[in-house]
Amino acid sequence: MNGRQPALVDSGFVGHAEDTADWARAHAGPVDLVVNTHWHSDHVGGNALLQARGAAIAAGAPEAEAVARRDPGCCAAEYLDQPVAPYTVDLALDDGQILRLGDADWEVIRTPGHTPGHLALWQPDERLLVVGDALSDYDVGWVNLALDGLDAATTALASLKRMADLAPRVILPSHGPLPADPGVAFATALRRAQRLVDDPDGALWYGARRIFAFALMIRGGIPADEVEPYLHARAWLADAARLLDRTPEGLAAELTGTMLRSGAVALRNGRLHAAADHTPVAPQSLRVPYPRTWSAAEPR
């Protein structure tokens, strides 16, 4: 958002940080503020670079507090095996807080579910709603039942209902195109979110597929003979296996087979790749420390 307070909502993946910074500068000039809808790696990956160039970082209070104390679980980075460069949060955001972004005032709306600290941004004059990963034109955000509790899907559904009640004119999601009809998009999202509530096993499978596909995207695929050992070592898969009453080995094999048969992943030249379109990531960009080894946050 350009104007008197140039701002960026979310900052992409660490492997694309330079591209994100260049794009933001081209559209808004030097960025004063980055607002994170939540702390997953594909939303906070450019924070460190933009902060080094003078931007302040704002995030929902629960996640801001965890980053400030350098909690090892920050960004679920180690848990999901999704690297995040170390950053600090300058402004913790609470429900109802007003932010000046560009030349307009936006209200912070707490929308937990996809993560406990997830937030949306509401511009009431133009009825614009930034929804982060709560929904898109084709999906709803996955929920982490193992980390966030079995009621995380119910929480996500309540957040969607709260946003739908705002009756936005335009929905601005973090992924995919702008929904052509906000009312239809919310009706569809509410049905999908209700299914996650009604079918916890389905919610676990949904999350596992999304996490695994992203792992393949950011690594340019994984050699076929290394896929199952990679999955066996993942904490998220072990938790999903426990909740689904399976062994990690059994779930890894079933997950890989299911995604191959559906076309969600593909075997090419001895490597398993995510089939969805994505931007390649330079391998060296993944070499950032897990939050447990981030140095203490310095005051700004």
Give buried/exposed letters for 236-253 (b at 16+ CB in 10 A, else e): bbbbbbeebebebeebbe
Q: List the structure tokens of 9.
A: 């909502």
192, 101: one domain: yes
Contact 112, 155 (CB under 8 A): yes
pLDDT at 300 exceeding the cut of 60: no
> Which residue, 182, 199, 216, sits at the end of a domain?
199
Residues 53-62 pLDDT 10s: 999 999 999 9
Q: Which positions ≥6 away from 158 have C-beta within 8 Å?
A: 113
Residues 55-112 pLDDT 10s: 999 999 999 999 999 999 999 999 999 999 999 999 999 999 999 999 999 999 999 9
Query: 157 is in which domain, residue-wise?
Result: 7-199
103, 122: one domain: yes
Number of domains in the chain: 2
205, 175: one domain: no
172, 246: one domain: no
pLDDT at 2 exceeding the cut of 70: no
Rounded-to-integer distance, Cα 85 and Cα 14, Å = 7
> Does some domain include residue 221?
yes
173, 235: one domain: no
138, 268: one domain: no
Rounded mean pLDDT, 26-44: 96
Please name the amino acid found at residue 46.
G
- pLDDT the model gives residue 298: 62
> Which residue, 151, 167, 199, sits at the end of a domain?
199
> Does some domain include residue 23?
yes
> Does some domain include residue 250?
yes
Residues 118-133 pLDDT 10s: 999 999 999 999 999 9
- pLDDT the model gives residue 136: 94
Rounded to two decimals, the pTM is: 0.95
Instruction: Identify the bridge partners of residue 265 per DSSP, sorted by sequence position.
Output: 274
Instruction: Identify the bridge partners of residue 135 per DSSP, sorted by sequence position.
Output: 140
- Mean pLDDT, rounded, of the chain: 96
pLDDT at 299 exceeding the cut of 60: no
194, 213: one domain: no
Q: Which positions ≥6 away from 60 have C-beta within 8 Å?
A: 36, 38, 92, 93, 108, 110, 117, 118, 119
> Which residue, 157, 176, 199, sits at the end of a domain?
199
15, 151: one domain: yes
